[in-house]
Amino acid sequence: MRHFIGLAPIVAALLLAGCGGGGSDTGGSSTTDNSGSRGSLQYNPPLRVTGLSASDFQAQLSASSTGKGLLAVAGTPKCGINFHYIQYGTVGGAGEATNGTGALMVPTGTDPACSGARPIVLYAHGTTTAKAYNIANILDSSNDAYGESVLVAAAFAAQGFIVVAPNYAGYDASKLSYHPYLNADQESKDMIDALTAARTALPNVGGSDSGKLFITGYSQGGHVAMATHRALQALGKSVTASAPLSGPYALAALVDAVYYGNVNLGSTIFTPMLTTSYQKAYGNIYSTPSDIYSSNFATGIDTLLPSTSSLSTLLTQGKLPQTALFSSTPPTAPAGSPASLQATLNAITPPTTPAAQAALFALGFGSNPLVTNNARLAYLLDALANPDGAVPNTTTGLPASAPTNTMRQAFKTNDLRNWTPTRPVLMCGGNGDPTVFYSVNTQLLAKLWSAPSPMAMGTGLLNVLDVDSAVTGASDPFAAAKVGFATLKASTAAAAVAAGATDGGASAVVQAYHGSLVPPFCTVAARGFFQQVLAAGL
């Protein structure tokens, strides 16, 4: 669920300032809509942040080794790009009226791939704690969204796709005081509202919509992208194809796995964002934050994220623990419980198997944890009584039928195992992901969608890419992504060893896996998939 925290080694040296001027485009009527209604565009035409020609973009990318690395993955730009900043009306997690902002990237140039009516990519970004996150701010390399913005621009806009990328409610200039994190209903509405606003803007910024709509996003954005595809399908709206990437689609199963002791990297960030999101939406997660959080962290945690302070500052100030989600002392089983229950609680605090992951999961336990043992115990008692169909054992593969714990009810509400797409889908991830577990999300959804009603995998309706797998042969359509990932993974380990790592670089790979290693290859694979769908006329 983490955003491109680690993408900086690939793109940090890119500086696009000075390649184009700001100001609004002309050529159409200028209007202001302050109604705040869903999908309304506040300023039309929207502000143009800058304009880059294809050669300008390529020159800037070529100016550094990191930029060259991005070029090698994304390819030589065919198109110039005009970057616009949109502001639109949307809703919060409880349906309250609010506003959102985002980026509208419009291809320019004389190449046939860049002019005329163009397909739209609706892009959902990953988890971030940075309140000021703004994908449209392409001119500021210190902006937290800069790495993701450049990657999306290089992968899609520079290859002829119009890009609509909302920052989400609760970020940038949104007046919402929180972010509706992994709220499938709200975030799909946010995406649809941004798309509506962007389509209103296109005639005034030199863009033309071909009617082909592609949806993608990484990590949190993978969940958002899938939720948006589901919502549009339910509304009877046209979706050409989607590519959710490394997302927590089976959210209830993933969090159950975490509470069973398989604590993922980033859990001390995800937990307060989820808890606040669902408390704002449903009002029944807790009576007071201390019902969930240890006393060292409870005060102010409900308003902590997203923040104007950096994550490192929050950790240094003791606002959040680095990795300790749970106590290293097992919860105490209720009086009168069978001895087997206490044995189970002991065995998962922390779990010692599988051995290959035991050290990773052990990082999630400590003497100063974020979540109290009482809260963990209440969750686990419900999970044991009303088990998920995928965790800890695979049965139906579906969410628990009737959870009683309010947090588990919220996760079920926002779980995406309750639909089947009717348009082409690519799911991409890596099987070694320590943050969004591949087997509990991508692999699980693929199994559910393949049986009992097959999605005709051989015809390309359902496609699954594990970038951390071997090339299957000369006809493997994802060979380049797999080889590129393997090369970057190996170089990451080698660099760590050269810097003195004694574990063969394994820890460096784990730290970089979700945030740095997988994103560029899954993103470019999504583009290739979209281009194939267009070529096939699907």
Whose tokens are 């962007």? That residue is: 198
Token couple for 527: 């583009």
Among the listed residues 32, 26, 27, the one whose alpha carbon sits nearest the alpha carbon of residue 44: 32
Q: Are 110 and 63 within one domain?
A: yes
Among the listed residues 370, 251, 377, the one whose alpha carbon sits nearest the alpha carbon of residue 301: 370
Q: Are 110 and 259 within one domain?
A: no
* 164: number of Cβ within 10 Å: 26
Q: Kindly report the CA angle at 287 between 281 and 293, in degrees rounded to 5?
A: 95
Query: What residues in the chain have per-residue pLDDT under 50?
Result: 2-24, 26-27
pLDDT at 287: 98
pLDDT at 28: 52
Q: Are 114 and 196 within one domain?
A: yes
Token couple for 111: 């190449």
DSSP state of 483: H
pLDDT at 61: 76
pLDDT at 21: 41
Number of compact structural domains in the chain: 2
Sign of the CA dihedral running 372, 374, 376, 379 = negative
Q: 395, 413, 431 — which closes off a domain?
A: 413
Three-state DSSP state, 458: helix
Q: Are 337 and 432 within one domain?
A: no
Among the listed residues 288, 229, 277, the one whose alpha carbon sits nearest the alpha carbon of residue 255: 277
Q: 374, 389, 413 — which closes off a domain?
A: 413
User: How many Cα atoms sit within 13 Å of 187 on the Cβ side?
Assistant: 32
* 97: number of Cβ within 10 Å: 14
Sign of the CA dihedral running 122, 127, 132, 137 = negative
Look up the CATH number of the domain holding residue 151.
Answer: 3.40.50.1820
User: How many Cα atoms sit within 13 Å of 465 on the Cβ side?
Assistant: 30
Q: Are 240 and 286 within one domain?
A: no
Tens digit of each residue's pLDDT (9 = 90 or more) over 156-194: 999 999 999 999 999 999 999 999 999 999 999 999 999
Cα distance from N-terminal residue to C-terminal residue, the chain: 30
Give the range of the structural domain holding residue 471, as residue numbers without chain letter.
5-250+417-536
Q: Are 307 and 427 within one domain?
A: no
Task: Report yes or no: 317 and 301 within 8 Å, Cβ to Cβ.
Answer: no
Q: Are 113 and 184 within one domain?
A: yes
Q: Are 435 and 350 within one domain?
A: no
Q: Are 438 and 362 within one domain?
A: no
Q: Are 94 and 240 within one domain?
A: yes
Residues 391 and 255: their CA atoms lie apart, in Å, by 9
Q: How far are the Cα atoms of 170, 172, 220, 267, 504 from residue 129, in angstroms, in the given order? A: 11, 11, 12, 13, 31
Q: Are 25 and 51 within one domain?
A: yes
Tens digit of each residue's pLDDT (9 = 90 or more) over 270-320: 999 999 999 999 999 999 999 999 999 999 999 999 999 999 999 999 999
Count, in order, helices (H) and strands (E) of the chain.
18, 14
Q: 390, 413, 436 — which closes off a domain?
A: 413
Residues 517 and 66: their CA atoms lie apart, in Å, by 14
Among the listed residues 99, 226, 192, 206, the one whose alpha carbon sits nearest the alpha carbon of residue 162: 206
Q: Are 109 and 147 within one domain?
A: yes
